[in-house]
Amino acid sequence: MDADTLRQFVKFSQEGDLSSLQQQLTTGGPEAVQTARCKHYGRSGDTLLHYASRHGHRDVVEFLIRTVGMDVEVYNNDYKRPLHEAASMSHRACVSFLLQEGAKVDSLKKADWTPLMMACTRRDLAVIQELLQHRADPALRNKDGWNCFHVACREGDPLVVQHLLLVAPDVWRTESKTRRTPLHTAAMHGCEEVMSILVERCGYSPDSRDSCGVTPFMDAVRNGHVSVARLLLEKHQASPTAADVLGSRPVHQVAVTGQEGALRFLVQELHVDINQRATNIQLTALHYAAKEGHTSMMKTLLELGADLHARDNKGRTALHMASIGQHPEAVRTLLQLGLPDCQDASGTTARQLAVRPRVVQAFESPTDTS
C-alpha cells in the first residue's frame, strides 16, 4: 500500500470516521484489508485498533475486530494492548467492548502496567469498576512495585480510593521496591482528602520509612503541602524532627526544595530548631539552602534565626556550600550579609572552590547586582 493510503487509514481511525475507513478498505480490496489487519505504524508500533481505542471510537473498534479481523490482543512496541489504550483514556464503551470480545483484563504492557493501573491514572470510577467487575486483580504490581492503589493515591480521587478499599480491603498493604507506601505517595502529591481516608481506614504506622528513610511527613513538607503535614501530625502522630538515612530532617529538606511556607510552619508553629544539624556531617538548613542556590530561602532562614556563621564538621560555612554549588547570587548574598570568605578545616576558602566565571566574579564584586 502507498504511504498516502496508510496515512488515511490512521486518520480515519483516530478521528472515528468509520464510513470513510470502510469505503477505503472496500476500494482497496483484500490487500487493503490485510494491511489494515496487520500493519504496525511508526516508532510506537501502534495499529489501527490502538488508535481507535485510544480515541474512544467504539464503532471503529468493533469494525476492526469483527469485520477486518484484528486481534483484540494485538500489542505495540511497548506491549500495550488496545485495552490499555482505552483504559488509560477512560473510554468505558471501548473498555467494555474489548473485554466482551475476550481481551485479557490483566494483560501487561512494558514495565508490567495492567489496564487497571492505567485506568487509575484517571479520575473515572466507572472504567475502574468495569475492569474490576471483569475480575481485574488490584494486587498486581508493576516493575517498580506499585499496584493500582499507589496510582490512585497519587491521582488523589477519594471516590476511587474508597472503592478500591471496598472491593479489596487489604490493597493498601503494599510497598514499592523502594519501600514507599501509598501514604508516601499521597503525601508527596498533596492529596489531602485521600490522606484523610488512608489515615482513618488503613493501618500505616506513624513515620513509616522508605529505603531512604523518608517519612510521609517529610514528603509533605518538602513539597510544600502544609495542610497534609498538619493532618499527619494531628491524626497520625508523625514526628516533625525524624531523620532520613543521611541524617537530614524536615527543616533541612524544606531548605533543599525552597519551600518557605513549610519552613515557617516548622519553625513558627512547631518550634523546630532552625539550627539543628543533619546527623551525617552536621549541615544546617542554611548550608543546604546555600548549596541549592535558594537566595530567598537563605534570607528567610536568617530572618527566623539561622546562624549565619555555622560550620559543618569539615569547617565549611554556607559560603563554601554556595560556591560548591556554583551559585553566584547565593555567594553574593552571603558576602553582602557579612559572611567572610574564611578557610574550612582543610585550609580551603570558598573562593578557591569557585569554578564558573560568574561565581569567581561574585567574590570579586560582591556588590554587583547586574
The pLDDT tens digits for 20-52 are: 999 999 999 999 999 999 999 999 999 999 999
246-250 average pLDDT score: 95
* Cα–Cα nearest to 130, from 169, 165, 100, 170: 100
Give the gyration radius of the chain's Cα atoms: 28
- From CA 169, how far away is CA 22, in angstroms rounded? 47
3-state helix, strand, coil in the chain (%, to 5): 55, 0, 45
Domain map of the chain by residue range?
Answer: 1-137, 220-227+240-370
**Topology of the domain covering 1-137:** 1.25.40
Residue 280 has pLDDT above 90, yes or no: no
Q: Which helix (H) or strand (E) segment is 254 a member of?
A: helix 250-257
State how far the alpha carbon of 207 is from the alpha carbons of 57, 219, 242, 272, 351, in Å. Answer: 47, 11, 8, 17, 41
Output the pLDDT for position 1.
75
CATH code for 220-227+240-370?
Answer: 1.25.40.20
How much is the pTM?
A: 0.92
Q: For residue 265, report the phi and psi dihedrals to the nearest 5 degrees.
A: -60, -45
Mean pLDDT along residues 78-102: 98
Q: Is the pLDDT of residue 258 over 80?
A: yes
SS3 163: helix
C-alpha cell at 143: 516493575
CA 230 remoteness from chain centre = 22
For 316-336, the pLDDT digits (tens) are: 999 999 999 999 999 999 999
Do 1-137 and 220-227+240-370 show the same overall fold? yes
Residue-wise pLDDT tens digits, 97-121: 999 999 999 999 999 999 999 999 9
